[in-house]
Chain A
Amino acid sequence: MIDNFYELQPYELDKDAKSKLLTKELLELTAFHKERCKNYSNYLDAVGFDPVSVRTPADIPFFPVRTFKDVDLLSIPREDVFKIMTSSGTTGQRVSKIFVDKETAMIQQKVMVKILSDYWGKKRLPILVIDSKATVKNRDSFSARGAAIIGLQVVAREMVYALNDDMTLNVDIVKDFLEKYSGQRFIIFGFTFIVWQSLFLNSNALDFSKYDLSDAFLMTGGGWKKLISESVSQDVFKQKITETFGIRHFLDHYGMVEQTGCIYAECECGHLHASIYSDVIIRDPLDFSVKKNGEKGLIQVVSVLPHSYPGHSLLTEDEGIVLGEDDCPCGRKGKYIQILGRIKSAEIRGCSDTYADKLERQN
């Protein structure tokens, strides 16, 4: 029962206690989805799953996140679908579809609030979103970006979009926001590359020195690779942001639409932390064996949030490292990780020029 988790602080459990709680919950979820989702049940049979052999979260079967593009996975009747979250990802034109009912949506929001309040306190804060309203409005392309913004709405006292629909900076709106909240605690949220391009590179559009952003948090997610391709490292990014805006608190995060709510947020030490609601297992691509801390591999994520769809154990297409467990100087228990980015596409041999043939097959 997820209620057992709510009584705990999100980073309170050490390795053994967390493993025990998580294993039990994930086993229950596996049985829950097996009963309600025929596709998932077929899959468990195909891999010869036996619940009796499960000792740790790593023993729960996983499948690739891409499967949400290939199969509609629901553990609820279609009429109970409250919203469908989609993400295009990188492979092909087809989108992932995540079917969320009211219960799962509520769980996602609740956990998101619990995790974030561990970083900036229980109070709801004003959020300046470095993105356009169009990103959220367009239901056809309800992207990971859109989903992240929507997810934050529940923790926001007020949400203001800093960019026009054409992604240019709306100077008046930003000015109004800063006039109102200068010196207070608030959040600036955006995707790393967009923050850099639309905010930092346009920072002379208004006089930031007039405002006090020393208690503000800059919350970013993903997009480092694109910045690094422009020769901006994470350190340079932070340094420039501090110099220009006086921002001192940074909160990068890792997460995905398939496990919305369970974000891996960055602490003061620059580490991304797994909360009690989820965990990361690093796998060797050659045989899926579990890598030791410090070793690079494919990132598997488990989460106790998905109830309306069987997304509680997924293999991502990202590579990463578990840096340590229970011993981050910030005091948070659990694993802390580093994301190395998306795996490279391969150049394989063969007669057909379109590597992604299978991906373009009509459904």
Chain B
Amino acid sequence: MQINLKDRIKYLTGDESILEKSDKIPALPMFSDIAVGFLADLSKELLSIPNIREHLDVMSYAYWIRKASIEKEKQKYNLREYRLGRGVAFHIAPSNVPVNFAVSMTSSLLAGNITVIRVSNKEFVEVSTICDAINRVLAKEEFAMMRSYICIIRYEHSDEITAFLSSICDVRIIWGGNNTIAQIRKYPIPPRAIEMCFADRHSVAIIDPEKYLEEDPSEIAKKFYTDTYYSDQNACSSPRIVIWLGENEAAKTSFWNALNEEVKSRYEIQPVQVIDKLSTFTEISMKMEGVRIREDISADNRLMVIDIPSLVLDSETIMDYKMNSGYFYQYTATCLDDILPILNKTCQTIAVLGIEKKDVVSFLMEKGVRGIDRVVDIGDTMGLEFVWDGFKMIENMSRIVYIYEK
């Protein structure tokens, strides 16, 4: 590596020797004992931090990687296959979801890769908490071998460093949306390397109003809050629109009023977010005739609910007008066919209530829908999973060695 590059990289975990000898480090088998053991120990290390409850996302991550959880995941794989890491996995983590880098690292290590992660320059306490814990675990003699497999770095925007890391990788994983992907794709990866990109997506909630009315409104509101406000309604998996399968004003009113209670007690909003929401509402209402703001529900600017008469506007869909921070479109459909226009390539997660998840999947299989990678219950959109955006993460980051038997 060129000397001038070295000086500009800050190592949170690992050091430059990993980058220098990366092609000499053996790949590990998928679900190697050492990687599973390391993650299990990291889980314990994180959960033993006294005030860890203050960081719910770090805590969920720690639970996700505990031994039992990973062993359970392992059972889902065909372990008679010979699978091992592809080599060097270069991850570009997003800047606004602090724990994401660790989630990406987890699949990468379980796949058996030498894992190089660029984290954002924003100093999140969650990032330093996890990196410190990783370093404490790596300091243990039993995990000495793992030290060559984890390199977590920061650097100021640099074409040379990104180009260099891209040139040595076998898998490149780009988080952070369309603009980041476009930016990083300027730098070529080796011919045999593969790339996994996590583009901008939108998600949708679908509710059967009759079934909803059988539920406890405040319980549902808490779950839906987690789906949306917890990440400023700006995660790919956060529903931006609520589709009611059938008209039922009582269900709508109850749903939003309960959410409003939850929001009032928990959510904080900046003036600029309010302006962003009002601007988006103004734009769509001017362009699309028949849009109505639900004044009764939207008096507090932390929640804005907008009834729309159509999902389509000329060549665009309503999802081209998505906003965050508590901004919801509301649409009443008679059946799933009605909402096909927004189930396009950019649609990621469908969160359902009172609707069979399998029915949604059968529908999309039958229609050959280009979007929808995931169907979950309301409340589960933020779940940490090894399948994301249509990728089986661990399998995609590994390669299979096939023995031909006559």
Contacts and interface: CB of A to CB of B under 8 A. Distances in A.
Contacts of B287: 39, 42, 71
B231 A350 contact: yes
Contacts of B279: 63-64, 66-67, 70
Interface string A330-346: 00000000000001111
A140 B54 CA distance: 51
A46 B201 CA distance: 27
A238 to B, nearest CB: 29
Interface residues of A, number: 38
Contact of B176 (A43, A45, A285, A351): A351
A348 B286 contact: no
B286 A67 contact: yes
Given A47-B295, A286-B302, A317-B275, A354 B179 contact: yes
Interface string A28-60: 000000000001101101111000000000000
Contacts of A317: 272, 275
B344 interface: no
Contact of B301 (A39, A285, A349): A285
Interface in B206-263: 231-232, 234-236, 238
Contact of A48 (B100, B278, B289, B295): B295
B20 interface: no
Given A348-B273, A352-B200, A354-B179, A315 B278 contact: yes
Given A43-B282, A351-B198, A361 B95 contact: no
A319 interface: yes
Interface string A349-361: 1111110011001
Instruction: Select the residue from B198, B274, B286, B324 with max chain A CB neighbours within 10 A.
Output: B286
A358 B94 contact: no
B102 to A, nearest CB: 15
Contacts of B288: 42
A298 interface: yes
A207 interface: no
B68 interface: no
B234 A352 contact: yes
Contacts of B178: 352, 354, 357
Interface in A56-78: 63-64, 66-67, 70-71, 73
Nearest to A297: B271
B385 interface: no
Contact of A353 (B179, B295, B306): B179
A351 B323 contact: no
B311 interface: no
Interface string B98-120: 00100000000000000000000
B60 interface: no
26 contacts: A39-B287, A42-B288, A43-B285, A46-B285, A46-B291, A47-B293, A63-B278, A71-B283, A286-B269, A287-B300, A317-B272, A343-B275, A349-B231, A349-B232, A350-B232, A350-B234, A350-B324, A351-B176, A351-B201, A351-B235, A352-B236, A354-B177, A354-B180, A358-B276, A358-B321, A358-B323
Interface of A: 39-40, 42-43, 45-48, 63-64, 66-67, 70-71, 73, 285-288, 298, 315, 317, 319, 343-354, 357-358, 361
